[in-house]
Amino acid sequence: MTEPLSYNKYLRVPELITLQTCLSDPAQHDELLFITIHQAYELWFKQILHELDAALVLIDQARAFAATLALQRVVEIERVLVAQIHILETMTPISFLGFRDELNPASGFQSMQFREIEFTSGLKDKGTLNNFRADEFALQRLQARFERPTLGQAFFAYLTRRGLDAPPDAATLAPEAQQQLYQRRVRAVVEVLTHFETRVAEFQLAEALLAHDEHFQLWRAHHIKMVERMVGAKRGTGGSEGVGYLRTTLEQKFFPELWEARTHLNAKHGAAGCPFASES
C-alpha cells in the first residue's frame, strides 16, 4: 500500500533543507542566512515569472481584469522582496567579510531569473545574453525570452485593439520616427489616465504595470543602500565597480510611456470633479 501524502512529501522538505551548502571553513554563522535569503529570492522570482507569463497571455486574450490581478500579485511579492533586504541588514559587515571571499566570482549580477523578469518586463539587452554565454541552461532560457514580446508590447497592442492610437516600435525606422511612435503611445496613455472612469479596464491594467515597475525600482534602491552599508565602495564579487555600477541601473524603466504620460496630463481634460459638488 502506498503511504498517504504528507506535508514533507508534498513540499519535498527533506530535499529543500539540504540545498543550503555553506562553503566557509571554519563555518561562519551568517553564511546560512546569506544562502537562504538568496534562495528565497529565486523562489519568488520563479513565482513572479509565472505571474508575468500569465499576464502576457491574458492581455493577448483581452482579459485585462485577470491580467491586472496577476500583476497585483507580482507587486505584493515585490513588497516582500524589498522587506527581505532588511533581514540581511542584521548581518554585520565584518561577519559578511568572514565568508565573502568564498563567493568570488559569483554575484547576484548572474541571477538568470532576475534578467528574465527584466526581459519580460521590457528591459532587453543583447549584452546581458553575452554575460551568460558560459551557462547553457541560463542562456537558453534568456534567449527564448529575448525573442518573446514584452509586457509593454502586449499592453500597447491591447490599447490598439481598444481603439486607441498606440503603435508598436518599428526597429527599421529612423530614431526621429521611432520617437514619434513613442509619443503617440504616451498620448494613448494620457487618454487612458484622463478617462479612467470610462476606460476602467485599461486604467487598472496600466496602474498595475506601473506599480510593478515602481516596486522593482524600489528593490534596486534598497539593494544599493544595503550593499553600501555592507561593503561601502568595494568592487563587487561579480567584478563590477560595486555601488557605483548599481547606481547606473536606478533610472531603468520597464514602461517609460506610463511614467512620461503623467507629465502631459492636463486637469482641464479630466472632468472627474467632486462627487458632492452638486449638493453645495
The footprint of ligand HEM (CB under 6 A) covers 37-38, 41, 88, 96, 107-109, 111, 114, 223, 227, 230-231, 236-240, 242, 245-246, 249
Shortest separation between residue 95's beta carbon and ligand HEM, angstroms: 10
Shortest separation between residue 84's beta carbon and ligand HEM, angstroms: 7
Whole-angstrom distance, CA of residue 193 vs CA of residue 143: 35
Shortest separation between residue 114's beta carbon and ligand HEM, angstroms: 4
Whole-angstrom distance, CA of residue 139 vs CA of residue 137: 6
Q: Among residues 118 and 207, whose Cβ is nearest to ligand HEM? A: 118
Q: Among residues 220 and 264, whose Cβ is nearest to ligand HEM? A: 220
3-class secondary-structure state, position 47? helix
Q: Among residues 162 and 223, whose Cβ is nearest to ligand HEM? A: 223
Shortest separation between residue 4's beta carbon and ligand HEM, angstroms: 37
Cβ-count burial of 232 within 10 angstroms (0-12 exposed, 13-18 middle, 19+ buried)?
exposed
Under DSSP, the state recorded for 18 is: T
What residue number has its CB nearest to ligand HEM?
Answer: 236
Shortest separation between residue 87's beta carbon and ligand HEM, angstroms: 9
Whole-angstrom distance, CA of residue 42 vs CA of residue 38: 6
Which three cell numbers mark 23? 562553503
Q: Among residues 72 and 84, whose Cβ is nearest to ligand HEM? A: 84
Whole-angstrom distance, CA of residue 55 vs CA of residue 151: 8
Q: Among residues 152 and 236, whose Cβ is nearest to ligand HEM? A: 236
